[in-house]
Structure 1
Amino acid sequence: MFGFAASILFVDQSTKALVRHHLTLHESISIIPNFLDFRYVQNSGAAFGILNNADIPFKPALMTAVALFALIAIALYTSRLSSEEPLAKIGLTAIMGGACGNLADRISTGYVVDFIDVYWSTWHFWAFNVADASITVGAGCLILDMAILNRHVSETT
């Protein structure tokens, strides 16, 4: 399972390196016109730009510490899951891989590179990256796992 997290980390860091190499800050390239651009942005906050503009003392160190704590907790919990919980393991491992990708950015630069810009007309979703997508898919797996677990619990009672 940890190989899966390492693969996510590799893809995340590789795509961010390509963006940093080929785009200047705030430059964008249209991938699918009127729907998807790659746009280089730097996010010093949390997911979806939360706290990006907040003036908090020691924000990079605080964000890094929170991410490290969460990563350690998730790794410990994942290692204790039984083989009968594969969807939960996949979800948590995807979250770990994504968290490692964003943590690597925070440690090396103090911000996270975001570049996937999905939009429709004048509506824009927050820019995100492969790590964010992995965390989101992992959370979806956990929700699905809980729904299945709840169904099994209901059937046995």
Structure 2
Amino acid sequence: MLPWLGLAMVVILLDQASKIAISRVFEFGQRMPIADGFFDLTLLYNKGAAFSFLAAAGGWQKYFFIALGTGAALFIVWLLSRHNQQRLFSFALAMILGGAIGNVIDRLAYGHVVDFILVYWRDWYWPAFNLADSAIVCGAGTLMLDELLRVRRTK
């Protein structure tokens, strides 16, 4: 199980280091084009969850998302302890674990999640996100791939 927890720790460290760096260099709302017309760095805060879900809920959502992220992390550690020999499955869980803990750290430390990656094209904008969010999405996609491969093997 140690390699998977190590991977989760790498995700947490990269996530937190990137958020600290952006927070020190940028002011809130400041944007810097990286690939003009497609990708900017910007400092934004999200008090909600994905796509700013419940961002304006009045404050209770902070504790809800801390509890949800902590509960998910504990469940993932339990799953890793039972399935750590399944490499793809465990990789996916470790990525989700690192991302979940990265965002819980933000909520505990700042009361919101620090987002800084902005992807857009013309007038279409994807909600800003961070490395923790990217790790969660990568992990979720890998979980789907693992399940598809498992089903294929059983046929």
What is the TM-score of this pair, normalised by structure 1?
0.93
CA deviation after TM superposition for structure 1 residue 54, in Å:
2.4
Q: CA distance change for structure 1 residues 136 and 22 in 2, over 3 Å: closer, same or farther? A: same
Across the two proteins, how many residue pairs are aligned to each other?
Answer: 152
Write out aligned runs for 1:106-125 (5 A).
106-125=107-126
Provide the rounded CA distance (Å) in 2 between the counterparts of 1:86 and 1:116.
29
Q: CA distance change for structure 1 residues 81 and 37 in 2, over 3 Å: closer, same or farther?
A: same
Instruction: Identify the residue that residue 80 of structure 2 maps to in structure 1.
Output: 78
Matched, 1:141 2:107: no
Residue 58 (structure 1) shift: 2.2
Distance 1:100 1:29 in 2: 27
Shift of 1:82: 4.7
1:17 maps to which of 16, 20, 41: 20
Deviations 1:49-103 (A, max 9, x none): 1111223x522112111111111011111111051x2110000000001111101
- Structure 2 spans left out of the alignment, 5+ residues: none
CA distance in 2, matches of 1:130, 1:26: 18
Residue number in structure 1 paired with 2:101: 100
- Inter-partner Cα distance in structure 2 for 1:78 and 1:118: 33
Q: CA RMSD in A?
A: 1.0
1:151 paired residue number = 152
Partner of 1:48: 51
Shift of the alpha carbon at 1:125?
0.3
**Alignment partner, residue 91 of structure 1:** 92
Alpha carbons of structure 1 residues 82 and 18: separation in structure 2 relative to 1, 3 Å: closer
Alignment partner of 2:119: what SS? strand
Match of 2:70 in 1: 68
State the partner residue of 1:130: 131
Instruction: Tell me the TM-score normalized by structure 2.
Output: 0.95
Runs of 4+ in 1 over 4 A off after TM superposition: none
Where 1:34 maps in the other structure, the secondary structure is: coil
Q: State the 1:48 CA deviation.
A: 2.1
SS in 2 for 1:51: coil
Look up the equivalent residue of 2:75 and give its one-letter code. A
Unaligned runs of 5+ in 1: none
Query: What's the counterpart of residue 3 of structure 1?
Result: 6
For the residues of structure 2 that align with 1:118 and 1:93, how far apart are their CA atoms? 25
Contact 2:54 2:61 in 1 (8 A): no
Larger mean CA deviation between 112-121 and 41-50 belongs to: 41-50
